[in-house]
Amino acid sequence: MLKITFMGAGSTVFARNVLGDVMCTPALRECEIALYDIDGQRLEESCRILSTINRNVNEGRAVIRTYLGVENRKEALRGARFVVNAIQVGFYDPCTIIDFEIPKKYGLRQTIADTLGIGGIMRALRTIPVMADFARDMEEVCPDAYFLNYTNPMAMLTGYMLRYTKIKTVGLCHSVQVCSEGLLKKLGMEDKLEGRKELIAGINHMGWLLSLQDKDGNDLYPEIRRRAKEKNAAEKHDDMVRFDYIDKLGYYCTESSEHNAEYNCFYIKDKYPELIDRFNIPLDEYPRRCIKQIADWGEMSRKLMEDDSLSHTRSREYASLIMEAIVTDQPIRIGGNVLNTGRLISDFPEHACVEVPCLVDGAGIHPTYVGALPPVCAAMNMTNINTQLLTIEAARTRKREDIIRAAMLEPHTAAELSIDDIIRMVDELIEAHGPYMAMYH
């Protein structure tokens, strides 16, 4: 029987989406689902909700088992063909709070802090050791499994897995699928959605919409550029940073404006506080979301668990599509995060983690060659890739000096702080994270 293991199954809503998709897919639904987490209550909640969906949409065909705690991790993984990763090491409290509050003392303000910035660096450094443990277990009990990584910081974690483990890994994000659709809807160009053709490539959360044509092959970018500039001048909205990218850089990118506000040295600047209002940047956005989610979860989980009619419709997440393509040998195209082996994007080093179109079929995941990006897009990506590669190096060496170097080369941190303050901040963060960063010296 096909076995699918979900690491971090206490991420109930996401587990419901991915595994609900599996149960809606004829080629996958007669499977064994292994739910793994270190939080017993959340694990049980996820199991109950998924069992209801299994009964209602899948006639109970899937076998669902739970595995609690590190001591049961290897059994959760044993014999798996696919492993989905959605862990969050350190939770909101204490680690996310630390990642926001200590940098704030040094004048460094963040919005999301899960991809780049000092928050992204810290998140990677506490997550990579856990994922390295997963890889060691997988190499022993399911060496041929595909590891589908959804955990951020995507490029750092996926890049580490691909470079330093033997596990077949691809990083998956939600933002590629909805990029051009969201843009056209925001600009009142819904009539161009059907039959459109696009190319997206770059790095995770800064993949560039390199071309967009309507069904007849007409270039949509001239009209997009005109409307985006007009919209930014006329009104406040939630995508002003990316629309400014279109104006200043010429291209739109995959992840939201609140994310991209902190991936560069342009928009969050202590010397220019007016930019926060001008570009409608939601500082401390991720903590706000976490607090609301935690407050709402009790009621939401109760309703989900008590709903005997709970159902599911297949989502747009890539995970079940990849599994289906590999199992059936029916090819699909996805946007995947992979190593830049063979210079898929010719501007970047081979050990960078890039986000490019990939073909998936019975033989696995096959990244496609993109070539050179527009110079300004490549330059923007490289400022992020530098930090990603230095953070992966710090995770490999486990040396404090390498963490400091990663922070020194991070665009937003470097623009705001002196080297002395960066060193002090890193030391304080390592100490505050305690056991989560105890392996670094």
Distances (CA, A) of 12 to 89, 126, 158, 384: 16, 22, 22, 31
Closest residue by Cα to residue 161 from 153, 273, 247: 153
CA pair distance 179, 200, nearest whole angstrom: 9
Cα–Cα distance measured from residue 263 to residue 118, given in angstroms and rounded to the nearest whole number? 10
Nearest to 347 by CA among 233, 203, 238, 221: 203
CA–CA separation, 389 and 432 (whole Å) = 24
Do 110 and 122 contact (CB within 8 A), yes or no?
no
Query: Can the peptide bond before residue 153 be classed as cis, meaning omega within 30 degrees of 0?
Result: yes
Positive or negative, the Cα torsion across 60, 362, 330, 155? Answer: positive
Helix (H) or strand (E) holding 33, with range, is strand 31-37
CB contact at 8 A, 322 and 362:
no
Strand partners, 336: 356
Helices (H) and strands (E) in the chain, counts: 17, 11
Q: Has 259 been annotated as catalytic?
A: no
> CA angle at residue 420 from 436 to 159, to 5 degrees?
45
β-partners of residue 147 are 83, 169
Phi, psi of 11 (to 5 degrees): -75, 75
Instruction: Report helix, strand and coil shares of the chain as percent, to nearest 5.
Output: 50, 15, 30
Catalytic position from the list 174, 205, 351, 441: 174
Any idea which residues carry the catalytic annotation?
Answer: 174
